[in-house]
Amino acid sequence: MSAPNNEDFDKAVAAPADVASFEHAQHGPLDRLHNFLHANPTAAPLVVLALSLLVFGTIADNFFTPFNFSLIIQQVTVIGLLGAAQTLVILTAGIDLSVAAIMVLGSVVMGRLGVVHGLPVGIAICGGFLVGAACGALNGFLVTRFRLPPFIVTLGTWSIFFALNLWYSEAQTIRSQDIDAIAPLLKLWGTRVGVFGAQFTYGSFLMIGMFCLLWYVLNWTAWGRSVYAVGDDKEAAELAGIRTDRVLVSVYTTAGVICAVGGWVAIGRLGSVSPQSFYEGNLDAITAVVIGGCSLFGGRGAVFGTLIGALIVGVFRSGLKLAGVEVLWQEFTVGLLIIIAVAIDQWIRRVSS
């Protein structure tokens, strides 16, 4: 056997150094950024929100005023509640295209029962909540029982709920004067209160309270951990003993109740009960969820990210409007934000895999 020469010895000694440099390259700045974003899904939207405030505060007159801030909060209140409901569904790797229809149907039921039929307002409100829960449970049942794609199921039920809404309401709006005279409690969440020189509605505080409640439930309860587990890997969740179908039905039902809460808030926001209000709420809710860093593939995201996403949309629309930008380009900018948010989510998932 020939003795190893000095060149072979030098290569053997250099090998560990090459491995170390390779590992260092694999943990460079880009990888560290990816790991940070993967562990903190609300970090990116929070940075975007801060930059948006800075930019629009510079280029738009009267942006940094208490009135404008309160207006932004009021404008995103209903969409924020719809986004909270949508977040629960998207965390399970599903989607609910019927959230706006459920919300409007719930508000119509509350208004018709309380104003037209003269039932006690408490019963009318509970009736709206029951309708929201029933609509959500129907979505969950169809998804789990018949193994249908959530997109197709909720696209169909969106049409069904909207048709029921027009039928039951007789396509008529319940006026503000009639609500004030018979069931003023329906407009509770539209009541304004002054805070630090700005006017906020009770509905804004309800929205924040809803997000706090969902944050606690998703992070500190077994049900919340099951929601994430089902969205991350449904088969693995079943092997771990989680009743995935039951979790999914409960998620869609809870989302329906939150939509009904949004319907109650919408009455206060509009001052009336309109069967055709917030028709575009589905897209706005999904926009808030996606921009807020929640993955459309499920299992990753934070509910407060949706609140930040809704605020980003509100800030962009308000800032662009104050800057004199046409509505057409406002919608163009929001669409661009959605594409960028989905691209970032895809990048995070691709690198992590």
More confidently predicted of 89 and 340: 89
Per-residue confidence (pLDDT) for residue 22, from 0 to 100: 41
pTM of the shown model:
0.88
Is 285 part of a structural domain of the chain?
yes
Domain span including residue 278:
78-301
Burial class (CB in 10 A: 0-12, 13-18, 19+), 173: middle
Question: Would you place residue 6 in the very low, low, confident or very high pLDDT band (cuts 50, 70, 90)?
Answer: low
Percent of the chain's residues with pLDDT above 70: 89
Average per-residue pLDDT for the chain: 88
Is 340 part of a structural domain of the chain?
no
Per-residue confidence (pLDDT) for residue 263, from 0 to 100: 96
CA 16 to CA 19: how far, in whole Å?
5
Which of 54-63, 83-92, 147-156 has the weakest average pLDDT? 54-63
More confidently predicted of 205 and 194: 205
Number of separate domains in the chain: 1
Is 56 part of a structural domain of the chain?
no
CA 76 to CA 306: how far, in whole Å?
11
Residues 147-164: what's their mean pLDDT? 95
Is 309 part of a structural domain of the chain?
no
- Summarised one tens digit per residue, pLDDT across range 102-140 is 999 999 999 999 999 999 999 999 999 999 999 999 999
Is 328 part of a structural domain of the chain?
no
Is 20 part of a structural domain of the chain?
no
Per-residue confidence (pLDDT) for residue 327, from 0 to 100: 85
Is 61 part of a structural domain of the chain?
no
- Summarised one tens digit per residue, pLDDT across range 223-234 is 999 999 999 999
Whether 57 has a pLDDT exceeding 50, the answer reads yes
Question: Would you place residue 25 in the very low, low, confident or very high pLDDT band (cuts 50, 70, 90)?
Answer: very low
Cβ pair 115, 179 in contact under 8 A: yes
Is 338 part of a structural domain of the chain?
no
